[in-house]
Amino acid sequence: MCGITGSIWTNNSRRISREQLGNMTASLSHRGPDDVGHYYLEHDAALDNPGIAFGFRRLSIIDLQTGQQPITNEDESVWLIFNGEIYNYQQLKSELLAEGHQFRTNSDSEVIVHLYEKYGTQMFRYLNGMFALAIWDNRKKQLLLGRDRLGQKPLYYCQQSDRLLFASELKSLIASNEVEQTINPRALDHYFIYQYVPHPLCIYQGVKKLPPGHYGIFEQGELKVEKYWQPDFNKTTSLSPIEIQSKIDELLNDSVKLRLQSDVPLGAFLSGGVDSSILVALMQKHASRQVKTFSIGFPVKQYDESSYARQVAKHLKTEHHELIVEPSAVEVLPSLVQHYDEPFSDSSCIPTWYVAQFTREHVTVAVSGDGGDELFAGYPRYKAIDLGHKIDRITPLKFLLTLPQIQKILPYGSKYKGFFRRLKRFLRSLHYSPAYRYLDWINIFPYANRLQFYTDEFQSCLEDHDPAEFITQAWQLAANRSPISKASLGDLVTYLPCDLNTKVDIASMAHSLECRQPFLDHRLVEFAAQIPAALKFHRGVGKQILKKTFHELLPENIWNRPKMGFGVPLDSWFRQELREQTYDSLLSTSAKCHQWINAWQIEILLKEHMTRKRDHSSRLWSLVTLENWLQHWC
């Protein structure tokens, strides 16, 4: 796992100096504390050669002795910098050796170089792994950028006149002093809805994220972006349930085995939930030594899963490490703002930060259970999808439940996830189409009337802009499938890469920890996408087929335990330890968020929350995060 950065320019007036490259590379030192490397090629107008600058920071995982980057082929016509892991590199290397390719290292990065020589941009279909990469092809005079299928590794770029800059993290582009930090209002509108800025948008105008499953070619001063991976989400498997279970077992076992390759200590995050517990059980089955597992616990019982993790660790006989922490938003917020280069307000990044920090004290690589909920319909919100679909088919009932009088008599409830609040949100959205209904259930600021929170200046920047398109376009990929399949597969290409993978990558790499996600093996993803929703979700419970497949591995109460999620007590924090900071930052006359959000609306949110009339904790966290981000980066 590493950090990459660089630039290409076709006019010497747009040159990135060696000093600038050094600054860009140094800003990624947390991603790769073990080594640093550069490749620099001056622009030569006479030979029509662009200027090239590659910077690399290395976290050594595979081939500790000879895996340095940038790395090149035999005649130095192809140069690569690469962040990630290619899990099938040994198989690919054997095939390339048989065809006469020569290798100097045992690294997966050199395999990519020779795979590119053989296949060009078609190489991506052969890679099983997580990656963001840049390849300079000196013969074709072109730069290739590529990102893995599910966005496990980030890649930003900024296309300017006669120049392109790129990097693993936004802070590296900023370190060049060549990128303007002008807020993109449309990206900010997305942030208030989703709690993240989705690809290809970036919080800054002129900067973009390369979307998952895409590559880009920069040639003759222009960047062309192409999609190389998109499974057919409308296709369903014809296999029987027993055959499906057998295939899941085969694919997940192989995925775990591949992800155990490491020349440094390796462990696993263990929450005691279904996904992480299955993975640890399979790791224990295939590992050559006792698996190390890591969990954190909280003093607040409703957020503490440590007892489940302890039970699973005991059952599987792992070497378990547990830390009880009292997460402090006041203490951790500056670090989060510094490392999450864009506004990011998923509060589960706080416990993720702590568990990554704790785990890195013992190992360099950790396995994580991300992706299981999207692949096997595990989120509790899919219950609402299922219920809404059933109500849609009973017209008189739907008419009754959507009467305004019903909404008026229901109390709001003072808990964010309380029964009455959920019921009210559910009923309020029933008259929407399923995709917009789902958006209303997951949004932070209400999609339908969010503009009432925005300043006039902000609103004027949003003409003809609809942030719902990010969700509706994803749902269209599974247009012929059931509502639960549309929602879960939609989450697979939106929420997973933009929220979960961003959260895990930044929190882990901030502590120089590599995270591997076996559920995101593209072979398993492509197969699981074809499984009918009825086999995943039944009678209000998800992951049915997954639980049946691995039922013998874990105690019965682990399979039946309620899903908790990785949460923190935001509601009480804003009334206690965060109260003073929240008022000082959000209501200050110098608050930068007032350019975007009406101050009087913020006052209403605070008053209603502090008096327990409403739980606005998620919206307040979104605002506090944004204000701190603006103060730090703008």
Rg for the chain, CA atoms, rounded: 25
Return the percentage of the chain with pLDDT > 90, whole number.
77
Beta bridge partner(s), residue 51: 9
Instruction: Provide the pairing of β-strand 365-367 with 514-516.
Output: parallel
Q: What is the pLDDT of residue 306?
A: 86
Domain co-membership, 486 together with 498:
no
On whether the CB atoms of residues 12 and 51 are closer than 8 A, the answer is yes
- For residue 555, pLDDT over 90 is answered with no
Residue 137 lies in a domain: yes
Give the pLDDT band of residue 63 (cuts 50, 70, 90).
Answer: low
pLDDT at res. 1: 64
173 and 37: one domain?
Answer: yes
- Co-location of 74 and 209 in the same domain: yes
As a whole number of angstroms, the distance between CA 501 and CA 519 comes to 12
Predicted pLDDT at 66: 75
Is it the case that residue 545 has pLDDT exceeding 70? yes
pLDDT above 60 for 293? yes
pLDDT of residue 274: 94
Domain presence at residue 232: no
Beta bridge partners of 278: none
Q: What pTM value is reported for the model? A: 0.94
Task: Name the DSSP class of 50.
Answer: P
Range with lowest mean pLDDT among 38-42, 59-63, 252-256, 580-584: 59-63
Residue 173 lies in a domain: yes
Co-location of 369 and 255 in the same domain: yes
Q: Using CA of residue 338, residue 348, residue 254, residue 536, what is the dihedral sign?
A: negative
**pLDDT of amino acid 409:** 67
Residue 234 lies in a domain: no
- Do residues 69 and 215 share a domain? yes
The enclosing domain of 180 has a CATH number of 3.60.20.10
Last residue of a domain, one of 460, 491, 522: 491
Tokens matching residue 233: 């989400």
Sign of CA dihedral 197, 2, 131, 294: negative
Indicate the pLDDT class of residue 507, thresholds 50, 70 and 90: very high
Give the tens place of pLDDT for each residue, 369-397.
999 999 999 999 999 999 888 888 888 88
Instruction: Taking residues 173-181, report their average pLDDT.
Output: 97
Q: 500 and 606, same structural domain?
A: no
pLDDT digits (tens, 9 = 90+) for 15-59: 999 999 999 999 999 999 888 999 999 888 777 889 999 999 988
Instruction: From 491, 507, 524, give the residue that closes a domain.
Output: 491
Number of domains in the chain: 4
Write out the catalytic residue numbers.
Answer: 2
Same domain for 140 and 129, yes or no, is yes
pLDDT at residue 424 above 80?
no
CATH of the domain at 310: 3.40.50.620
- Given this model, what pLDDT does residue 511 score? 96
Asked if pLDDT for residue 330 goes beyond 90, the answer is: no
Same domain, 210 and 81: yes
Summarised one tens digit per residue, pLDDT across range 398-423 is 777 777 767 666 666 556 566 766 77
Q: Which of 537, 560, 583 is the last residue of a domain?
A: 560
pLDDT for 414 equals 55
**What's the pLDDT at 65?**
72
Mean pLDDT of 100-104: 91
Q: Examine residue 463 and state whether it is found in any structural domain, yes or no.
A: yes
- Output the pLDDT for position 26: 97
List the domain range (segments joined by +) for residue 621: 569-634
What is the average pLDDT value for the chain, to the nearest integer? 92
* 233, part of any domain: no
Whether the pLDDT of residue 327 is over 80: the answer is no
pLDDT at site 326: 78
Whether 304 and 185 share a structural domain: no
pLDDT at 406: 72
How far is it, in rounded angstroms, from Cα 497 to Cα 130? 12
CA 412, CA 427: separation in Å to the nearest integer?
Answer: 12
Q: What's the number of CA atoms in the CB half-sphere (13 Å) around residue 5?
A: 29
Percentage of the chain with pLDDT > 70? 97
The pLDDT value given to residue 420: 65
Assigned domain for 369 exists: yes
Confidence of residue 564 (pLDDT cuts 50, 70, 90): low
337 and 295 share one domain: yes
| 116 lies in the same domain as 144 | yes
* Residue 157 pLDDT level (bands cut at 50, 70, 90): very high
Domain membership of residue 236 (yes or no) is no
Question: Do the bridges between strand 78-86 and strand 71-72 make them parallel or antiparallel, or are there none, so unpaired?
Answer: antiparallel
pLDDT at 606 over 90: yes
Q: Which of 5, 116, 51, 131 is nearest to 501 (CA)?
A: 131
Q: Is the pLDDT of residue 588 over 70?
A: yes
- When pLDDT is cut at 50, 70 and 90, the band that residue 450 belongs to is very high
Of 579, 592, 587, nearest in space to 631 by CA: 592
pLDDT digits (tens, 9 = 90+) for 72-84: 999 999 999 999 9
Can you tell me the mean pLDDT for 589-613?
96
* 434 and 458 together in one domain: yes
